[in-house]
Amino acid sequence: MTTKSDNITWHGANVGPDERQSLTGQRGCVLWFTGLSGSGKSTISRRVEELLLRRGHFCYGLDGDNVRFGLNKDLGFSAEDRAENVRRVGQVAKLFADSTAITTAAFISPSRSGRDAVRSHMPPGTFLEVFVDTPIEVCEARDPKGLYAKARAGEIANFTGISAPYEAPLAAEIVLKTAEHDIDACAEQVISHLVDNGFLNRTLDKG
């Protein structure tokens, strides 16, 4: 996407990426949690954030509902607005990751192309797609917000999984099976991936 302003310049920091990573003891990345409503995206991402913070790591979570109170309050749920929602959050997540934050983002983000677009703007290897792979019948049985019932009653249009499509990841870095494993097990699976792939300095771990 091109900008509407010509008189802007990207300003780099005085501390480069390698030195920043050395000072904070971690590599920044974006953990992009995607899945159906009720799959457990927000719950797991919040638990990952909590565990990392309590173990002495720099982490911040971006939640799908929370950003619509401010940054994206002008957007609805049309296909176009949802795509713009993902684009904006992707840009914010990139800035957080540049700061070396382990950044969690929990969004249905139903389109592969939308998620791939976010990945394309990130440094190679720093966008980690986390597929919360929960069968729709399990999501619907949970129905924490009563949304599936409303969608089936025709009260909510363009509802992912019912009246709008969801394109599951084809090669996610992390796949979580919440119908088989509890929240803590899923969170630890994510953290283990970060450790195994060099995003966290083991010496900082206080857990």
The catalytic residues are: 109
CA dist 207 and 51 (Å) reads: 8
Q: Where are the alpha helices (DSSP H) in 121-203?
A: 136-142, 147-152, 183-196
Q: Decide: 121 and 91 in contact? Cβ < 8 Å.
A: yes
CA distances to 7, 91, 120, 186 from 193, rounded to whole Å, are 41, 23, 21, 11
What's the burial of 25, exposed, middle or buried (CB within 10 Å: 0-12/13-18/19+)? Answer: middle
Q: What amino acid is encoded at 27 in this protein?
A: R
Query: What are the tokens at 73?
Result: 């309050």
Our CA angle for 81, 86, 90, nearest 5°, is 145
Q: What is the C-alpha R_g of the chain?
A: 18
